[in-house]
Amino acid sequence: MKKNLMKKFVATGLVLTMVAGGGTAAFANGSKNDDRGKGNNNNSYTQKYDNNKFDSKGNTNITININFNDMKNSQWAMRYIASLASKRVFEGYEDGSFKPEKTVTRIEAITAAVRLMGLREQAESDAEKQTKLNFKDADKIPAWAVGYVAVALENDLFTESDDSVKPNEDANRLWATTLLVKALKLEAEAKANMTSTLTFKDAKQIPAGSVGYVKVAVDKGLIDGFEDNTFKPNQSVTRAQLAALLDRTNEQLPGEDQNSNTGTVNAAVYNNVLSLTKNGTTTVYNLHPDAFVLRNGVKVAATEIAVGDTVKVRTFNNTVVFVEVTGNAPVNTSFDILGTLTSTTINAQGKIATITITQNINGVDQSTTYNVSSTFALTGNLANFSAGHVIQLKGQNQSVTTIDVK
């Protein structure tokens, strides 16, 4: 495809899924091993790590599943799935699978859209779950999804003429596109574009009342056509495809994600600690041991996060579970800096592994931690090599090769 439904990224390694104990799972339609049921608890394909932090009801914990066993042909979607999982929008199955090629039902897509809007807690509240729905097929809506449909109604994700939810019907490209444009609160813009001309070969298959939604979605970069310049409005959407569509939508949702932040890495990642600087303020984060770290579209180890990288992080229960490097640190650069020794760490061989110095930059004290080369040279007045004394660091590519004690 020239412009496939989803732009493919190559990704390998971890994929995160967030599991809410006692909660419902998006995209788990009738499976014995889905996130809502007990499943078979088959851990031969997955390792789980709980941080033992719970909400006020004591029923929320974070779980990270490693290497979904069925992602071989859908690695391009791992980047999107990990991003959404860190927001508890998209979830996997207890048997270690994700089922990326499984088609998505309407109720699953509605659930995801509501979660993407940050309304999961409201949708799962007792008040919303007890809502009396007036749809003709209300009796076909699963009990766990009643609150999601109610919240979707309250947020105009349905039209006045919708008299049925059709919960078990496959979500097709046109329907999913319309749903997410509404989630973005762009319905007025869509209506203003109803007389637009779509250039897809199969544009006549798109109802007149949907043209504006497709136009807005294409203009916003949410969805593309296919190589043959068709839109295929009636083609069912898979879980992997919806993950990419949701992630694109997420980037354009109004409001600031309380669990996301950005900044510049000011210290080498050590002992699962990530330190970022933003507008002169340094924030230190705990990094989950199995956090998904994305760099240039590829999953990498946390140790590959470099000082000087600009990153976006997402936390859950005050722990970073997703890191995306949005700007790479300069490469092949040497440095020569003067500062006050703050601290050092020692590796298993008893050698200095990292060194932290403090500098006064524009009137603000800023601490930076560097990796230390295994062959570094220690020079100068060695008797003064202790916290509070001035030292000079020289090195290249974020690694210190010389420590000169003043």
Four-point Cα dihedral 198, 199, 205, 207, nearest 10:
0
The pLDDT of residue 92: 79
The pLDDT of residue 200: 97
**pLDDT tens sequence across 212-236:** 999 999 999 999 999 999 999 999 9
Does the pLDDT value for residue 146 go beyond 70? yes
CA nearest neighbour of 124 among 106, 94, 102, 149: 149
Give dist(CA 109, CA 170) in Å, integer: 9
Strand, helix or coil for residue 127: helix
Does the pLDDT value for residue 59 go beyond 50? no
Does the reported pTM lie above 0.85? no
The pLDDT of residue 362: 66
**pLDDT tens sequence across 288-300:** 888 889 888 788 8
The span from the first CA to the last CA of the chain, in angstroms, equals: 61
Say if residues 199 and 211 touch (Cβ distance below 8 Å): no
Does the pLDDT value for residue 144 go beyond 90? yes
Distance set, CA 290 to CA 119, 153, 205, 348 (Å) = 27, 37, 45, 22
What is the gyration radius of the CA atoms in the chain, in angstroms? 25
Average pLDDT over residues 141-157: 97
Q: Give the count of beta carbons closer than 10 Å to the beta carbon of residue 191.
A: 12
Q: Give the count of beta carbons closer than 10 Å to the beta carbon of residue 199.
A: 10
Most confident range, picked from 92-101, 126-135, 221-230, 256-265 = 126-135
DSSP secondary structure of 287-343: EEEEEEEEETTEEE-GGG--TT-EEEEEEETTEEEEEEEEEPPPSS-EEEEEEEEEE
Placement of tokens 């809506």 in the chain: 141
Average pLDDT over residues 111-126: 94
Q: What tokens appear for 103 in the block?
A: 């088609």
Average pLDDT over residues 3-19: 32
Does the pLDDT value for residue 52 go beyond 50? no
List, in order, residues 6 or more apart from 174 with CB less than 8 Å away. Answer: 206, 207, 210, 213, 214, 231, 233, 234
The pLDDT of residue 341: 95
**pLDDT tens sequence across 389-405:** 999 999 887 789 999 99
Strand, helix or coil for residue 265: strand
The pLDDT of residue 47: 27
Residue 311, Cα to own-chain centre: how many angstroms?
Answer: 12
Does the pLDDT value for residue 97 go beyond 90? no
The pLDDT of residue 256: 52
Say if residues 248 and 221 touch (Cβ distance below 8 Å): yes
Burial letters 264-281, b for 16+ CB under 10 A, else e: bbbbbbbeeebbbbeeee
The pLDDT of residue 123: 97
